[in-house]
Each structure stands twice: as structure tokens, then as C-alpha cells.
């Protein structure tokens, strides 16, 4: 089974690909449309600014490829900035249009008594304990680094939240599309278990 890790010039590609390999799967770092569309699962990582990331995706044509993979039923997981890109827009550095696969927007933390960026280990609260992404798992801590957080339009897309002065979107999902605001590959046993569950979903889809 092959997992495509989308290379559009802005992502923690090495750590994600190594995590996939540690879990016993083949991770292909690629910007090739055919490889992405032919994969059993797709990972969309991301670090940096939302607008820059979308500019890179549009410039390479990978925005359309990622949308096509999602529309075709391929399991897709956005990680950190990659999760935010799945949504309609972000207010980072002015309004920037996202992939629009899921309805909602990324907004900046208000700050105040809480430091921005939100950086460190925070506990997940599961809102959909029966979701297959959470199969066999218990609530625990994962590692976040972000200044913007997603406000999904549909509350049914929320799988898990964390608390940082208010409930913060941590995991989203709808059909074959998932997102994790934190870095699963840097989040210890729980993070790797979440990534393993996603890869198992991709494997099941590929063998169906």
C-alpha cells in the first residue's frame, strides 16, 4: 500500500514520511499528480503561512489534484496547516481562499492571558468516540504549534477538541477527509496511534 505525502514546497515532509515508515507503510513524498491520485491514502502536511501554502498549491496545480483525490473517495489527512487548508478560507494576513473541501474558516487566537502561538502539549477531548479514527484510543495529550484555529461551519465535522481558553478544533472529519491541527508524528504514542488508525482506514479502502 502506498501513501502519498503531498510535496508542494511547504511541509514537514521528512518527519511525516519517517512516521509512516515506522508504522510499516510506504510513504511517497511527491508532487506528481498521477502518484497522488493512484495512492491508497494522501497526507497533506504544512508549515508556514496559509496564503503562501495556497499559492504554492495553485502554482503547481496540486490544489485541483488534492480536491480530486478527496472527491474520488481516497482517504485524505491534513496535518497542522494542512488541516486548515482543507477549509474554505483563512484570515491570516488578510482573507485567503482555501481548498474548500470542508466548510469553515481559520481565525487567529485572540490572545489575552493565553500566549500566541499556542505551543505545547494539550489534552484531546473526544466528541465522536465511535469514529473509526479514534478506534481503541483514550483521550490524552498531543503537541500543538499554531497561531490560527479552525471554526468548522458544521459541528458534525468536529471529532476532537482541546482547550486553550475556549474549545479549539483539534481533529475534524467528514467521510474520507480528516484533519489534525496538531503534529501526530511529534505527539508520542497517542499521535502515532491516530496516524496508524488513519493509515488502517486507507488500507481498508484500498483493499475494498
Asked about 80 being catalytic, the answer comes back as: yes
User: 56, 80, 89, 149: which one is catalytic?
Assistant: 80
User: 118, 151, 183, 189: which one is catalytic?
Assistant: 183
User: Sheet containing 41-44: which strands, arranged edge to edge?
Assistant: 26-30, 2-6, 41-44, 76-79, 177-180, 167-174, 158-163, 125-126
User: 89, 92, 118, 185: which one is catalytic?
Assistant: 185
Q: Which residue has the cell 496538531?
A: 182
Of 180, 173, 139, nearest in space to 156 by CA: 173
Asked about 151 being catalytic, the answer comes back as: no
Asked about 35 being catalytic, the answer comes back as: no
- Sign for the pseudo-dihedral over CA of 109, 145, 47, 167: negative
Pairing of strands 125-126, 158-163: antiparallel
Instruction: Give the Cα separation of 170 and 182 in Å (integer).
Output: 7
Instruction: Give the Cα separation of 22 and 185 in Å (integer).
Output: 10
Give, to the nearest 10 degrees, the angle between helix 13-22 and helix 188-207.
Answer: 70
Instruction: Give the Cα separation of 71 and 78 in Å (integer).
Output: 15
Q: Which residues are catalytic?
A: 80, 183, 185
Amino acid at each position: 500500500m502506498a501513501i502519498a505525502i503531498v510535496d508542494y514546497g511547504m511541509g514537514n515532509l521528512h518527519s511525516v514520511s519517517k512516521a509512516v515508515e515506522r508504522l510499516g507503510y510506504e510513504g511517497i513524498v511527491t508532487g506528481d499528480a498521477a502518484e497522488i491520485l493512484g495512492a491508497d491514502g494522501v497526507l497533506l502536511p504544512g508549515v508556514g503561512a496559509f496564503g503562501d501554502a495556497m499559492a504554492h498549491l495553485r502554482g503547481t496545480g496540486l490544489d485541483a489534484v488534492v480536491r480530486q483525490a478527496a472527491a474520488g473517495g481516497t482517504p485524505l489527512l491534513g496535518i497542522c496547516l494542512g488541516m486548515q487548508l482543507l477549509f474554505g478560507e483563512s484570515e491570516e494576513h488578510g482573507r485567503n481562499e482555501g481548498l474548500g473541501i470542508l466548510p469553515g474558516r481559520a481565525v487567529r487566537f485572540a490572545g489575552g492571558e493565553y500566549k500566541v502561538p499556542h505551543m505545547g502539549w494539550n489534552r484531546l477531548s473526544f466528541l465522536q468516540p465511535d469514529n473509526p479514527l479514534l478506534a481503541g484510543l483514550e483521550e490524552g495529550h498531543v503537541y500543538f504549534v499554531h497561531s490560527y484555529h479552525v471554526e468548522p461551519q458544521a459541528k458534525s465535522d468536529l471529532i476532537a477538541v482541546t482547550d486553550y481558553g475556549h474549545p479549539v478544533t483539534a481533529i475534524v472529519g467528514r467521510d474520507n477527509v480528516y484533519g489534525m491541527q496538531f503534529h501526530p508524528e511529534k505527539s508520542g504514542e497517542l499521535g502515532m496511534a491516530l496516524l496508524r488508525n488513519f493509515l488502517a482506514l486507507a488500507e481498508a479502502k484500498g483493499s475494498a
